[in-house]
């Protein structure tokens, strides 16, 4: 008789784990609790929230997890060993959500859209955020989310008082137990591991170099000032070529960075990675590098997730909210009005013009040394460490 409560049973085609679905199946896994995560965006924030998965599995070890997110973030989460189902916020996916019920729900976004999605299903207990049904005002779902909620309402507290990383604030807000500083969890597949190793070898062999330095040149258009200028990037490349003769430089970015990367790399001995091959391909390129220099952007979060050394500069955003897990350096702009979180700015001298080149080079010296004399760069510690860490996934 079919085991209808098993997480692998779908009820409309033969199980991929075992042709015979009965109690003798060694792959049988009956979850004790069903969990919904609603985290729609931004892309980098979704990557960061993968750090919650281990805390969730500690508190709810036999859980079945459904994650709802905005496209294209679902590509980053697909085939994750701890996530059983990934849905987008498109109506056809939300129709599927309406067929499900959950004991626990985590609404991470402070948005009516995320809260409305959670309302499309039945959840016994919601953590994170909900809304006043009359006014639409976002409010904490439980008292534990009060601190994270208040940081969004008080710039002074957010910019200058708070010293907790966002990862810690989320664990506390969602009542996931004592904060244990869990790392991001976004492993490559076996196929991607092979592609990463091949890509790395090809890039290093191009000019006989021994270390790969990735320059993540762009960011989303939400806060466009989180990226350095074309001129600054070219000056940085020339300095790296001068000071790090064994390094190969790879330009990283997404579709919106294609033309810009061409301008940055014009006439310089650098490699331009594919920018229009999708998020997972971009993750592979980031993982192939030893060190990534970046603003506070998706590329930074990808590099953290792949346990690369990271040189991250901060202008409009709060550096204390980001945890590099002791793998890299944070560089703060000298601009006196930073952080501000403004989406537009009228300053004559921008915050990205006040990022010290010398500090980047100094941080790069430490990161290159850590990469070369630590774990072999050809290995991807992200997947090695995580692949066996959750017996239930």
Domain ranges of the chain: 33-173, 190-387
Phi, then psi, of 295 in degrees rounded to 5: -85, 180
Exposed, middle or buried by CB within 10 Å (0-12, 13-18, 19+), for 232?
A: middle
CB 301 within 8 A of CB 47: yes
Query: Can you point out the beta strands (E) in 164-315?
Result: 211-216, 247-252, 271-272, 291-295, 309-314
Residue 370 pLDDT: 79
Q: Tens digit of pLDDT per residue, the chain (393 long)? A: 676 777 766 756 777 677 777 777 866 667 789 999 999 989 999 999 999 999 999 999 999 999 999 999 999 999 999 999 999 999 999 999 999 999 999 999 999 999 999 999 999 999 999 999 999 999 999 999 999 999 999 999 999 999 999 999 999 999 999 999 999 999 999 999 999 999 999 999 999 999 999 999 976 666 666 778 999 999 999 999 999 999 999 999 999 999 999 999 999 999 999 999 999 999 999 999 999 999 999 999 999 999 999 999 998 889 999 999 999 999 998 887 788 767 677 777 767 778 899 999 999 998 988 766 544 444 443 444 443 333 232
Residue 392 pLDDT: 31
The arrangement of secondary structure in 190-387, i.e. its CATH architecture, is: 3-Layer(aba) Sandwich (3.40)
Query: Alpha carbon of 302 to those of 51, 288, 315: distances in Å?
Result: 12, 11, 19
Element holding 262 (H helix, E strand): helix 258-265
DSSP character for 195?
H
DSSP character for 158?
I
Between strands 138-140 and 122-131, the pairing is antiparallel
The arrangement of secondary structure in 33-173, i.e. its CATH architecture, is: 3-Layer(aba) Sandwich (3.40)
* One fold for 33-173 and 190-387: yes
Residue 382 pLDDT: 41
Residue 337 pLDDT: 74
SS3 201: helix
Residue 350 pLDDT: 66
């Amino acid at each position: 008789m079919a085991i209808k409560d098993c997480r692998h049973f779908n009820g409309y085609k033969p199980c991929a784990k075992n042709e015979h679905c009965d109690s003798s199946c060694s792959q049988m896994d009956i979850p004790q609790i069903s969990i919904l995560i609603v985290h729609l965006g931004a892309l980098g924030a979704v990557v960061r929230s993968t750090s919650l998965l281990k805390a969730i599995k500690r508190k709810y070890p036999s859980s079945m997890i459904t994650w709802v997110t905005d496209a294209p973030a679902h590509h980053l989460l697909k085939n994750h060993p701890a996530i059983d189902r990934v849905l987008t916020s498109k109506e056809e996916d939300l129709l599927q959500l309406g067929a499900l019920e959950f004991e626990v729900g985590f609404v991470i976004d402070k948005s009516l859209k995320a809260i409305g999605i959670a309302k499309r299903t039945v959840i016994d207990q919601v953590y994170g955020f909900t809304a006043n049904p009359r006014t639409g005002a976002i409010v904490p779902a439980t008292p534990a989310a009060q601190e994270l909620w208040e940081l969004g309402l008080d710039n002074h507290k957010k910019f200058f008082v708070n010293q907790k990383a966002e990862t810690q604030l989320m664990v506390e807000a969602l009542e996931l137990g004592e904060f244990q500083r869990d790392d991001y969890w976004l492993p490559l597949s076996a196929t991607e591991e092979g592609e990463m190793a091949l890509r790395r070898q090809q890039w290093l062999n191009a000019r006989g170099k021994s270390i790969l330095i990735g320059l993540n040149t762009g960011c989303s258009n939400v806060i466009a000032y989180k990226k350095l200028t074309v001129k600054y990037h070219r000056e940085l490349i020339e300095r790296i070529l001068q000071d790090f003769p064994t390094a190969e430089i790879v330009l990283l970015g997404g579709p919106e960075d294609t033309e810009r990367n061409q301008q940055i790399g014009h006439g310089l001995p650098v490699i331009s990675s594919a920018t229009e091959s999708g998020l997972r391909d971009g993750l592979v390129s980031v993982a192939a590098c030893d060190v990534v220099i970046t603003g506070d952007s998706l590329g930074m979060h990808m590099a953290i997730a792949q346990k690369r050394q990271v040189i991250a500069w901060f202008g409009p955003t709060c550096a204390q909210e980001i945890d590099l897990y002791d793998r890299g350096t944070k560089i703060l702009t000298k601009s006196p009005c930073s952080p501000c979180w403004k989406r537009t700015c009228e300053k004559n001298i921008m915050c990205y013009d006040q990022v010290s080149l010398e500090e980047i080079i100094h941080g790069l010296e430490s990161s290159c040394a850590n990469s070369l004399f630590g774990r072999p760069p050809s290995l991807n510690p992200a997947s090695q460490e995580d692949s066996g860490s959750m017996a239930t996934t």
